[in-house]
């Protein structure tokens, strides 16, 4: 009987989670969550609030200049430019773009059952117009909503009419803000529901 093993000796002891390992896992989770929030969520929230962060500014610059690598070209990164001096040869600066996002309107004769959700990007023709667009944003939105609010659902869903809408809006905005206030106009978002 002395050689018989006791049942308690053969069964392994229940494993306890080690406190340092658990603390380490929590710390890694917090670091990964915080870093991903700072890199991905933070810039999106800042952009919605109209704030500019280095990441948002870099993304906007990439969108503005296009991606040369996508064309199969390998371009060197340009050196940091000094914007305090005028460009050589008197070349004009890149035109500013005034963006009006998430405009919603009910098309004509829809009885409120349908709506148009759109964003309008206006390439500004001059510095005065750029400042006017910022200070008179509500007036600019009203011009766009009034002009497009007269269109029916059939007009708005016909893609061939979009260029006509752009020309009409450009004419209406230039009439209110001065000739050549709008260089060109784009619809980055145009959804009829």
Mean pLDDT by 10 residues, the chain (193 residues): 58 66 77 67 65 54 48 43 41 72 90 91 91 92 92 91 93 91 92 91
Across the beta sheet with 182-192, what order do the strands follow? 97-105, 116-124, 182-192
Place of tokens 């230039």: 174
Say what the pTM is.
0.51
Rg (CA), the chain: 29
> Which string of DSSP letters, residue by residue, matches the chain?
-TTSPPHHHHSPPPPPPPHHHHHHHHHHHHHHHHHHIIIIIHHHHHHHHT---HHHHHHHHHHHH--GGGGT--PPPPPPP-TTSPPGGGPPPPPPEEEEEEEEEPPBTSTTS--EEEEEEEEESSHHHHHHHHHTHHHHHHHHHHHHHTSBHHHHH-GGGHHHHHHHHHHHHHHHH-TTSEEEEEEEEEEE-
Residue 109: per-residue pLDDT: 86
Residue 145: per-residue pLDDT: 92
> What CA–CA distance (Å, rounded) separates 168 from 163?
9
140: Cα separation from own chain's centroid: 20
Q: What is the dotted CATH code of the domain comprising 95-192?
A: 3.30.479.30
Backbone angles phi, psi at 111, to 5 degrees: 65, 20
> What CA–CA distance (Å, rounded) separates 96 from 98?
7
Residue 67: per-residue pLDDT: 46
Residue 77: per-residue pLDDT: 43
Residues forming CATH 3.30.479.30 domain(s) in the chain: 95-192
Residue 73: per-residue pLDDT: 44
Place of tokens 């709506």: 115
Residue 117: per-residue pLDDT: 93
């Amino acid at each position: 009987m002395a050689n018989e093993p006791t049942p308690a000796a053969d069964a392994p002891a229940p494993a306890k989670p080690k406190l340092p390992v658990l603390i380490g896992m929590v710390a890694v989770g917090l670091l990964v969550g915080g870093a991903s929030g700072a890199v991905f969520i933070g810039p999106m929230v800042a952009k919605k609030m109209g704030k500019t962060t280095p990441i948002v500014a870099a993304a906007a610059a990439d969108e503005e200049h296009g991606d040369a690598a996508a064309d199969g070209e390998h371009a060197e990164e340009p050196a940091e430019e000094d914007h305090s001096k005028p460009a050589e040869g008197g070349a004009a600066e890149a035109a500013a773009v005034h963006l009006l996002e998430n405009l919603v309107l009910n098309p004509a004769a829809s009885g409120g059952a349908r709506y148009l959700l759109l964003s309008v990007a206006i390439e500004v023709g001059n510095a005065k117009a750029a400042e006017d667009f910022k200070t008179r944003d509500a007036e600019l939105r009203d011009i766009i909503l009034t002009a497009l609010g007269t269109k029916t659902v059939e007009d708005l869903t016909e893609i061939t009419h979009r260029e006509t809408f752009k020309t009409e809006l450009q004419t209406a905005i230039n009439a209110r803000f001065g000739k050549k206030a709008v260089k060109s106009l784009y619809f980055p978002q145009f959804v009829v529901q």
